[in-house]
Structure 1
Amino acid sequence: MFKKIQTSVGEVLDFPPDVVGEGPKITIIGRKQIVVENYNSILNFSEEEIRLETAEGDIYFRGKGLMLKVILATELQIEGELTSFSFGGGEMK
């Protein structure tokens, strides 16, 4: 029930989806820093790849020297040299 109210209020007040939704918000600063909000879990991580589960599917970050610098319940920060990322297999650069 709360989800219905939350969506309705968001639609009425014209909030962007990342404010009222459960989908991920990804902020990439250059090629060295990534902040991901609203992730569900960390499925895999190494220096070459970090895979996250979100409400909208898996997200893959690929690069060199990737590190999880900050891990909070709903937000994490990745640092390293980002070379690409993809959503559930469809690569975006």
Structure 2
Amino acid sequence: MFKKIQTSVGDILDFPPDVAGEGPKITITGRSEVLVENYLSIINFSKEEIRIETAQGELFLSGKGLVLKTILATELRIEGELDALRFEEGAGKNV
């Protein structure tokens, strides 16, 4: 019997993870807007901190007046005064 070979098109063509849809794509416009694509879930949010699970770890956004303006299955748009953004290894981390 032949074994099925499971490979994504992104692996074959050597696309970066964000292009292949596997990793997060983060677009920051100034200090007032952040677009996060390819996220897994929203872990916690307040006006001072938003924590998001991604395939490459947890993403922390901190600032003032943070608001989730758009929440779609694969896209978040956050507005407010952004002070910091950082990644930490988390449950969504691929090993």
- TM-score by length of structure 2 reads 0.80
Sequence identity percentage: 64
Count how many residue pairs are aligned between Structure 1 and Structure 2.
85
User: Following the alignment from structure 1 to structure 2, what is the Cα–Cα distance between the partners of residues 72 and 18?
Assistant: 17
List per-residue Cα deviations over 1:34-71 (Å, max 9, x = no partner).
00001111011000000001111100000000000000
Higher helix share: 1
User: 1:59 matched to which residue of 2?
Assistant: 59
Residue aligned with 1:5, SS: coil
- Counterpart of 1:35? 35
* Greater Cα radius of gyration, structure 1 or 2: 2
Tell me how far apart the structure 2 counterparts of residues 88 and 39 of structure 1 sit (CA, whole Å).
14
- The answer on 1:48 being equivalent to 2:48 is yes
Q: Give the structure 2 partner of residue 81 of structure 1.
A: 81
Unaligned regions of 5+ residues in structure 1, if any?
Answer: none
Amino acid at match of 1:5: T
Report the Cα distance in structure 1 between the residues aligned to 2:35 and 2:77, rounded to whole angstroms: 5
Residues of 2 paired with 1:73 and 1:47: CA distance?
Answer: 21
3-state SS of paired residue (2:73): coil
Instruction: Note the alpha carbon deviations across 1:3-52, whole angstroms, 9 max, x for none.
Output: 9421xx32443423211141111000000000000111101100000000
| Structure 2 residues without counterparts, runs of 5 or longer | 90-95
